[in-house]
Amino acid sequence: MYNKTTSAYFLKFGKITDSFKKNKELKKRKFKITNKTIASLYAYSEDVYVETVDGMAIVVIADPDEAYKPELFVIHRNFKIDQGQYFSFITLTSSSTINLYTPNKTTRTTLNTEAPIVYEPIQPKLMISEICAYYYMVKSPGYKFYGESHRYFELTFVDSGELETDVEGTNFVLKNYDLLLYGPNQYHTQEITSSEPCSYLTIIFESDIQNYESIINRVFHCPREYYQILDKFVKMTTSPLPYAKDLMISFIQELILHLLQYDLEEHITKPSTPIHQHFENELLEEILAYINQKIFEPLPVDEICDHFSISRSSLQNLFRDNMKVAPKQYINEAKLAKSKVLIKKSEYTISEISSMLGFNSIHYFSRKFTHRYNITPSEYAKKIYED
Within 8 A by CB and 6+ apart from 17, the residues are: 49, 78, 79, 80
Domains of the chain: 3-118 (2.60.120.10), 128-265 (2.60.120.280), 274-386 (1.10.10.60)
Query: Residues 226, 155: contact at Cβ < 8 Å?
Result: no
Residue 268 has pLDDT above 80, yes or no: no
Specify the range with the lowest mean pLDDT, choosing from 47-51, 69-73, 96-100, 130-134: 69-73
E-strand stretches of the chain:
3-4, 14-16, 26-33, 37-44, 48-54, 57-62, 71-74, 79-81, 86-91, 96-103, 108-118, 128-139, 144-148, 153-160, 163-167, 170-174, 178-182, 188-191, 198-207, 219-221
Residue 190 is predicted with a pLDDT of 96
Read off the pLDDT of residues 228-262 as tens digits, 9 standing for 90 and up.
899 899 989 988 999 999 999 999 999 999 999 99
Nearest by Cα to 183 from 168, 164, 172, 199: 168
Model confidence at 298, in pLDDT bands (50, 70, 90)? confident
Model confidence at 386, in pLDDT bands (50, 70, 90)? low
Residue 206 is predicted with a pLDDT of 97
Residue 385 is predicted with a pLDDT of 65
Read off the pLDDT of residues 119-156 as tens digits, 9 standing for 90 and up.
988 888 899 999 999 998 888 899 999 999 999 999 99
- Total-model pTM: 0.65
Instruction: For the beta carbon of residue 228, count every other beta carbon within 10 angstroms.
Output: 16
Q: What is the mean pLDDT of the chain?
A: 90
Within 8 A by CB and 6+ apart from 210, the residues are: 125, 126
Residue 324 has pLDDT above 80, yes or no: no
